[in-house]
Amino acid sequence: MKSITLDDIQAMEKLVRVQFASSLPGVKPVCLVGTENEDGLSNLAPFSSVVHLGSNPALLGMVTRPDTVERHTLSNIIQSGHYTLNHLHRGILEQGHQCSARYPHGVSEFEATGLTEAREGPFVFVAESRFRMGLKLVDRLPIEANGTQLIIGAVQLVQVAEAALSENGSIDLPGLGLISSTALDTYFESVEMARLPYAKPKEM
Ligand SMILES: Cc1cc2nc3c(=O)[nH]c(=O)nc-3n(C[C@H](O)[C@H](O)[C@H](O)COP(=O)(O)O)c2cc1C
């Protein structure tokens, strides 16, 4: 087992440190965040920091990088108060990944990648996504230790292929072909391995 200390991490070349640090949480979901700017121009960017923040009301958090450069997703969410999360599947993986390129202000990633916009009220969805949701911004917490921010959204609308939804509330993620990721370049397919009963303390 190799030990990697804080000093080792600090000494890494920047891109190596990004790759290493973003692998630490393991495999994570990856969604395209759909937004629009004040002129109604749409924007898409992959985010893999989406986390469940409780069910009543259903809240999701995601972390955005420091706003030391233009961050279209962040500024659009602040300005419009709404955004969408569109899960990726194999059929749109390359296009989804391409949305992480730094396109200039005035260029929509939909147009740049050929993905299709589906608008519904304040929401800009990806038509090709099989599992997507619309959220309303409810909080934004600065993480002072490194300048990132936690964006917190309340789920307003969920759209999912009907066959994937069970009566018990679970969603057949492998059936939807859902993709997850680690670091910023490695993607995984989902395979269900086990479904275990609610754990209770065992008699000793
Ligand atoms: C797989 C993957 C996951 C990413 N996850 C995040 C993330 O959680 N937070 C973030 O700020 N950027 C993340 N990025 C980087 C953004 O997608 C990238 O900075 C993008 O250019 C932002 O575009 P925008 O300026 O239109 O918001 C990720 C990129 C990839 C490829």
Predicted confidence (pLDDT) per residue in 30-84, tens digit: 999 999 999 999 999 999 999 999 999 999 999 999 988 889 999 999 999 999 9
Q: Please, what is the Cα angle at 58 between 54 and 62, to 5 degrees? A: 75
**How far apart are the C-alpha atoms of 77 and 82, rounded to whole Å?**
6
Point out the ligand 1 atom lying closest to the alpha carbon of residue 181: 1
Share of the chain above pLDDT 90, in %: 96
Point out the ligand 1 atom lying closest to the alpha carbon of residue 62: 8
Give me the residues of the chain with pLDDT under 70, please. Answer: none
In a mutational test of the pocket of ligand 1, which residue from 65, 76, 86, 148 has the highest number of ligand atoms less than 8 Å from its CB?
65
Q: How far is CA 69 from CA 61, 73, 90, 103, 110, in A?
A: 21, 12, 31, 13, 22
Q: Is the pTM value of this prediction over 0.85? A: yes
- State if residue 43 touches ligand 1 by the CB under 6 angstroms criterion: yes
